[in-house]
Each structure stands twice: as C-alpha cells, then as structure tokens.
Structure 1
C-alpha cells in the first residue's frame, strides 16, 4: 500500500472526506465530522493512525510488530500502523474499515 492507494481507499468510503486541519503534511479522513484515519505525507515507510476497539487494539499490538500505540493519539483507542510489507493489503484495509465503522457508529434515533 502506498499513499495514493490509501487516499483512494479512504475516499471510497461512503461520506468520507479528506481534510488538512493540521497543515499541509497531515491528511485527516473523517466521517460525519469525526476522524477515522490520519496519515503523515512525509512518513517513510508509510504509517497511519486508525481508531480501534480498546481490546482489539491491544491484541493487534501483541500480534503484529508493525502495530504500535497511536502516535500523538489516545493510546487506548488508536493504533499506528507502519506499512512495512509485513501485513497483507487486505488486512490493512480491514483495519481501516474497522476504524471507519467504529467512528461512523450507529445512526442516532430521532427524538419524538
């Protein structure tokens, strides 16, 4: 996975938007105004932050050396993924999907 593939995948998610709230070097992907992925454009190798269920976040860190506590994020809920070729692209996409789904959440019930 490279930055272009990552951008395309994130923007393919329904309602996703790409923003630059922290300056020109950090892309932030949001759904419903909430962040589901951050990526530094200058990172080499590519690395990105995704939100994760706290228990799953710990399990992934134990299983995969390329998964670290979220850099500059709440380490209970965020992981940093280093794209070093050790994890298949399908797995990386699954982690992005989990983050997107977690942040998107369930639609709020309308008040009567």
Structure 2
C-alpha cells in the first residue's frame, strides 16, 4: 500500500507529468486538470513541492 496525493495542475502539463514515474492519472478526480502523485519517494521532494505550490495556487481563492 502506498500513500498518494491528488494535485491540481496546469491543464497543459498533465499529459507530460503522467509520463513521469510516480505520477498517474488522477484517482476519482477530473483527469484533465488533476494528477495523483505517489508518496513513496519515487517523485523527488523538490518536484513534489513544486506540484503542491502549483495546486495551491490553482485551488486557492484569488
């Protein structure tokens, strides 16, 4: 069993992100705007932080 997190991404990046190891089509989310990231260490901490920042920006009230 692996912990995961769903993150909203720029629609233009979703396809290329899903080609990276540890990043998948979003589980139970809109697959055009969201990705699921495995928290098992495959995705680097820096990449994960970058994706979390993007998701926060895209989901926070402006």
Query: What interval of TM-score do these two structures reach, taking the shorter chain for normalisation?
Result: 0.7 to 0.9
TM-score by length of 1: 0.51
Aligned residues: 62
Q: Which runs of at least 4 in structure 1 moved beyond 2 Å after TM superposition?
A: none
Larger radius of gyration: 1
**Residue in 1 that maps onto 2:2:** 45
Instruction: Show structure 2 runs of 5+ residues with no match.
Output: none
- Which structure has more relative contact order (CA 8 Å, sep 6+)? It is 2
CA RMSD in angstroms comes to: 1.3
Question: What SS class does the counterpart of residue 27 from structure 2 fall into?
Answer: coil
Question: What SS class does the counterpart of residue 76 from structure 1 fall into?
Answer: coil
TM-score by length of 2: 0.86
Describe the superposition over 1:5-44 as per-residue Cα deviations: whole angstroms up to 9, x where unpaired: xxxxxxxxxxxxxxxxxxxxxxxxxxxxxxxxxxxxxxx3
